[in-house]
Amino acid sequence: MNQETILTEVNNIFIDVLDDENIKLERNTTEKDIEEWDSLTHIQLVVAVEKRSKIRFKSSEINSWARCAMQLSSARMHNKFLETGIYKSQILI
């Protein structure tokens, strides 16, 4: 699957964590674009992405991210989504 599909999945996670149906992530969305996205929320988002994709990011990966939405949709997540069939379930909904 492509990065846009992953971004859609991450967008759904943002909506759930931040409890805001109006969130629309773009490839370059950063914490400055979303008022509720602070350092604590960033950790909550990472944890939610880890749970959804069933992977565990390394601290070094998380620390290197510039809090950009696309960083939350890393290549490892892409591969895990493919393995677990999350794309299929997301597309059918």
- pLDDT of 77: 63
CA neighbor of 47 nearest in space, from 22, 16, 2, 86: 16
Counting the structural domains of the chain, the total is 1
CATH of the domain at 82: 1.10.1200.10
- pLDDT of 21: 95
The tens place of each residue's pLDDT in the chain, 93 residues long, gives 577 787 888 899 999 999 999 999 887 888 889 999 888 998 898 899 888 877 787 787 777 676 666 566 665 665 666 665 554 434 332
Question: What type of residue is 22?
Answer: N
Question: Which residue range(s) make up the domain with 63?
Answer: 3-92
What's the pTM value of the predicted model, to 2 decimals?
0.72
